Amino acid sequence: MELVEESPYRFRIDRHDPMRVPGVVFASRSLLPDAGADRSLEQVANVATLPGIVGASYAMPDVHLGYGFPIGGVAATDVEAGGVVSPGGVGFDISCGVRLLAASLDRAELRPRLDALMDSLSEATPRGMGKGAVWHLADGTELDALLRGGSRYAVERGYGVRRDLDRCEDYGAVGDANPAQVSQRAVQRGAGQVGSLGSGNHFLEVQAVEEVYDEPVADAFGLRAGQVCVMIHCGSRGLGHQICTDYVHAMEKVMPGYGIHVPDRQLACAPVSSHEGRAYLGAMAAAANYARANRQLLHHAARHVFERITGSDLSLVYDVSHNLAKIETHGVDGEQRRLCVHRKGATRALPPGHPELPDDLRAVGQPVLIPGSMGTDSYVLVGTPGAPAFASTCHGAGRTQSRKQATKAVRGHDPRRELEAQDIAVRGKSRRGLAEEMPTAYKDINAVIEATEGAGLCRRVARLVPVGVVKG
């Protein structure tokens, strides 16, 4: 794949048939994928063939191989010009995202109570592959209400406070959710998992604010140096996975009828305005609401643990997804157009003044939450005016090894002991779960953030370091 370096943090893949637009990769040279081992740049070019795509097929600094779209991929299609929606452009863990909570105590105050806190958080956080949840729904009516109402419904039922909704993307719920378009199999998979962490790269991490780069913005977010925070990373569990599976198969069948041909069957898609496109977006929104409620329930459980062990509340800094397709209005070629913006392993980063931001954040911009790999720094950034890629940025460090490769690489090591040697308290469900997520399996988060800021995607506000981690 030939890349043209446009600037130190921006590379171009020139358009060639059947691409409709060029590819653009935001990265430093050291972060570019190894073409021999990672086909993600080929996926960037494949995404550029989608009907109705505008601007470019974008890749973030954490880009790596995904399903259809690369993880760290962003693409927008023009709804009125036959633009399509592709489940592979959202991913299997629909609305997987990050929630950051701020405590009212400092790291030094926490230290004598850390072990007790971590034990209690471990006990209060259902996790792993199977069932187990904070909220055991009474029946299908409750699940239907949750799929429509997301965090709003959870708060209404006593699992949180009003401010939680003000600091959540879409104020806690995506509109136009249609549970009727969610298969019974997806409902069955999700019914017993509301308020659970899952496995893989999902975590609940106790952190401390190590460095503040912009004090006025950090203050608006509710952050200060030395402060204890909690970061939660999880999504829509089995429900979202099944929805993606269902609609990839459905769209693969109908593409020929719409005259759509894609270079990879994993890019199965349908026009946004078609029956299949509308059905998927309705089901996807329902899964997004499930994911918002899932993080809300885990927040609620952690809040009670903190209050009991430390006497501190946990207030929400922000909750934002990084696997979603949203209908948004953006300027394209001097015109405002309705676009279906796919963000696959990519985070929305709204600039100051954006009307979708809550009143207390509008002047400074949207908090952008970028977790590191287990045992490394995480970052809080902020959206900036005039950013490229439809106000999108990266979502994490980005894998360089598969889970199987990562497990093999640490054979003979003790992941728990190595993390504890860094003064990080570990509560893991299994050794394998820890081995799969060790920092050696990921890109350098500091290099990713440098490229993200250098490319003008967003701006650093604070750096957080891990104190303790709960893993599936």
Looking up tokens 């796919």 gives 342
CA dihedral 115, 119, 125, 131 (to 10 degrees): 150
**Cβ–Cβ under 8 Å, residues 71 and 85:** no
Judged on CB neighbours under 10 Å (0-12, 13-18, 19+), 210 is middle
Strands 335-344 and 71-78: antiparallel
Q: What's the residue count for the chain?
A: 472
Looking up tokens 């608006």 gives 220
Torsions phi, psi for 203 (to 5 deg): -160, 165
Token couple for 210: 């190590």
- Distance separating the N- and C-terminal Cα atoms of the chain: 37
What one-character-per-residue DSSP string does 245-280 give?
HHHHHHHHHHGGGGT---SSGGG--EETTSHHHHHH
d(Cα 204, Cα 230) in Å, to the nearest integer? 7
Torsions phi, psi for 161 (to 5 deg): -125, 165
Strands 53-64 and 23-25: parallel
The DSSP element (H or E) to which 350 belongs, if any, is none
Q: Which residues contact 421 (CB under 8 A, 6 or more apart)?
A: none
Has 261 been annotated as catalytic? no
**Cβ–Cβ under 8 Å, residues 174 and 150:** yes
Q: Which residues contact 136 (CB under 8 A, 6 or more apart)?
A: 192
Strands 392-393 and 347-348: antiparallel
Strands 378-383 and 392-393: unpaired
Q: Which of 202, 322, 342, 395 is catalytic?
A: 395
Beta bridge pairs of residue 381: 368, 460
CA dihedral 354, 382, 282, 245 (to 10 degrees): 160
d(Cα 420, Cα 187) in Å, to the nearest integer? 39
Please report which residue ranges of 23-139 form alpha helices under DSSP H: 40-47, 107-110, 114-124
Q: Which residues contact 337 (CB under 8 A, 6 or more apart)?
A: 54, 78, 79, 80, 329, 330, 331
Active-site residue numbers? 395
